[in-house]
Amino acid sequence: MLRLLKINNIALIDDLEIEFGDGLNLLTGETGSGKSIIVDGLGALSGERISSDLIKQGESAARIEGVFSIELSSGDAAIFAEAGVEAADDEIIVRRELSSSGKNRIFVNDRLVTQNFLKRVGHLFAEISGQGEQAVLYDQRSHLSMLDAAADVEKELAAVGKAFQHWAEMRRELDGLNEDESAKLRSLDILRFEIEEIERAGIRVGEEEELEAEKLRVVNSEKLAVASEELSDTLYDSDLSTITTLDRASRRLAELAEFDDAFKEFDEGVASARAVIEELAATARRFRSTLEVAPGRLDEIETRLAELSRLKRKYGGSIDAVLEHYNASKQKFDSIEMSGQRENELREQLALAETEYKKVADRLSKKRAAAAAKFKAAVEKELAFVALEKAVFEVRLTEREKFSAEGSEHAEFYFSANPGEPARPLAKVASGGEVSRLMLVLRTVSGKKETQRTAVFDEIDIGIGGRVAEAVGRRLQKLAANQQVLCVTHQPQIASLADHHFVVEKSIRSNTTKLSVRELDTVERIDEVARMLAGREITEAARENAKAMLAAQNK
């Protein structure tokens, strides 16, 4: 529901802030005071397009912001998450920023979003009915939704949706297996070639790194041979080697130790140094022996590396990717070869899924058919209270050609406002003031359960008055018991039923017209209803009449 609406620099509005409440919220004011601007602002927050032409004259930017209290379903939460919009604490803040340059922006919970996203989720915030607002009437899906709401078929609808999803999964997999036979053979040829190519290559993890290291040694073998020989000679093999010098030093150390014990403690260190030198020299000799390169070895290494590089380029950029492609290709190859067996299994499963779908869909169809007659009677009964007593309303169910998550049938409402005229599809006959009244009746009859969205009616009372206006007001009041309702009205009979009554006023300051909105207290409501009864000159009789109407609002 709408908690707070802020409008800045739109049309006649400088800065406007309205806190709406539960139940029936009514906007009144003299003709031309700008009440519809409020509705237009809420429409913009629900995804309707808005032009930069509405920016207040002399200003370069404008803003509309709404704070909605909404607990998202898991499906709706997924839509928000997909767009990167955080929706915690059951609060959604929608902001639209307009610029005279045409660079308009939309934010949901401070996240920049697209017009398409807002339009996709806008139905969660508000449903707006008014003059020329017939989108719901045109949309047959909404007819089925209204019938289902009245029929209380949530359980059956969920079962149909689950059965349809299972059937659709089986159908998709079977369709994939039933692709053109020649395409299967082509796929098998390609997969077989790729599998054999990788198998012939005999790739193993770590091979490429080993080859690169060996190549480095082969390319530098002469330099490495000289270095290892010089190291061995220096340490051990030459007459002036390190080991010879160290042995000479060891003998002198022993002589000195006979005369001074201080030299004895170095015996172990010298022996250790000799062992290290011997090991290092042996390592140098062993390394030198590995540098014997067979003729053509470098060519072999480079050929193998080139083959590995080619396979990497072809199958994913790394040895791991090549091996992953090999495993995936083998799996797909086996799957295609076994598709005949899987196809038979799927056909059996699909037949079972079809049987289950038809069973639960038939159960839903029977409940809808039974509810359609009751829905027709309830709507026609309510139409009589809103000056459409001669109207004819029908619910026509037609069978779908294909399986659907919504069941086996379409629903379409037919309507005739005048006696003698055949009932025709709603969108072709409903016009003018009939639109909002018909939508009110449909929502009242179908809206048994509480909903979080705000129902908005703009000038629902066009062409009615007196007892009919009071009846319309009572239906609004009934609807407001289950959801927040926002309504623009000129009828005192409707205004007297408000849970929250707001007046829209225009004033002229410094030759500039301003628009303001304020919620009325009890005394102010009496004066406003009296004005609606009597006009600008409020009489005492009108005031007393207004008091009586307000006192009777809950009767």
Walk along the chain (555 residues) in steps of 10 and give the mean pLDDT of each run: 91 89 90 78 88 85 92 79 81 91 88 90 80 60 84 89 90 76 81 93 88 79 75 77 83 83 83 86 79 75 89 89 92 79 84 94 94 93 85 92 90 86 78 70 74 80 78 87 89 91 85 84 91 85 89 71
Is 332 within the bounds of a domain? Answer: yes
pLDDT at 134: 55
- Residue among 526, 524, 468 nearest 494 (CA): 468
Question: Which one-letter amino acid corresponds to residue 412?
Answer: E
Contact in structure between 150 and 375 (CB atoms under 8 Å):
yes
Helical pair 319-337 and 339-385, crossing angle rounded to 10 deg: 80
Contact in structure between 124 and 108 (CB atoms under 8 Å):
no
* Alpha carbon separation from 94 to 56, 69, 350 (Å, rounded): 21, 11, 45
* Alpha carbon separation from 541 to 359, 525, 529 (Å, rounded): 65, 15, 12
- CB within 8 Å of 536: residues ≥ 6 apart: none
Helix (H) or strand (E) holding 203: none
Q: How many domains does the chain have?
A: 1
Secondary structure (3-state) at 454: strand
- CB within 8 Å of 183: residues ≥ 6 apart: none
- CB within 8 Å of 92: residues ≥ 6 apart: 67, 68, 70, 108, 109, 124, 125
Contact in structure between 453 and 20 (CB atoms under 8 Å):
no
CA atoms of 319 and 304, how far apart (whole Å)? 13
Is 314 within the bounds of a domain? Answer: yes
- The DSSP output letter for 476 is H
CA atoms of 42 and 456, how far apart (whole Å)? 9
Backbone torsions φ then ψ of 498, nearest 5 degrees: -65, 145
Is 292 within the bounds of a domain? Answer: yes
Is 97 within the bounds of a domain? Answer: no
Backbone torsions φ then ψ of 31, nearest 5 degrees: -55, 130
CA atoms of 553 and 23, how far apart (whole Å)? 14
Token representation of residue 69 = 């209290």
Contact in structure between 533 and 469 (CB atoms under 8 Å):
no
pLDDT at 36: 79
How many residues in total does the chain contain? Answer: 555
Is 118 within the bounds of a domain? Answer: no
- Residue among 358, 367, 314 nearest 193 (CA): 314
CA atoms of 368 and 284, how far apart (whole Å)? 92
CA atoms of 507 and 115, how far apart (whole Å)? 34
User: For residue 69, what are the β-bridge partners?
Assistant: 91
Tokens 């070869």 — which residue? 337
The model carries a pTM of 0.60
3-state helix, strand, coil in the chain (%, to 5): 55, 15, 25
pLDDT at 33: 64
Token representation of residue 124 = 């969660």
Count each helix (H run) and each strand (E run) in the chain, helices first.
20, 15
CA atoms of 416 and 401, how far apart (whole Å)? 28
SS (H, E, C) 421-444: CCCEEHHHHCCCCHHHHHHHHHHH
CA atoms of 281 and 88, how far apart (whole Å)? 72
Token representation of residue 109 = 């919970």
Is 106 within the bounds of a domain? Answer: no
Identify the domain containing residue 226 by its residue range. 156-362
pLDDT at 375: 93
Contact in structure between 109 and 83 (CB atoms under 8 Å):
no
Q: Are strands 2-10 and 61-69 parallel, antiparallel or unpaired?
A: antiparallel
Token representation of residue 1 = 């529901």
pLDDT at 131: 47
- Residue among 367, 292, 350 nearest 176 (CA): 350
What is the DSSP code string of 334-364? HHHHTHHHHHHHHHHHHHHHHHHHHHHHHHH
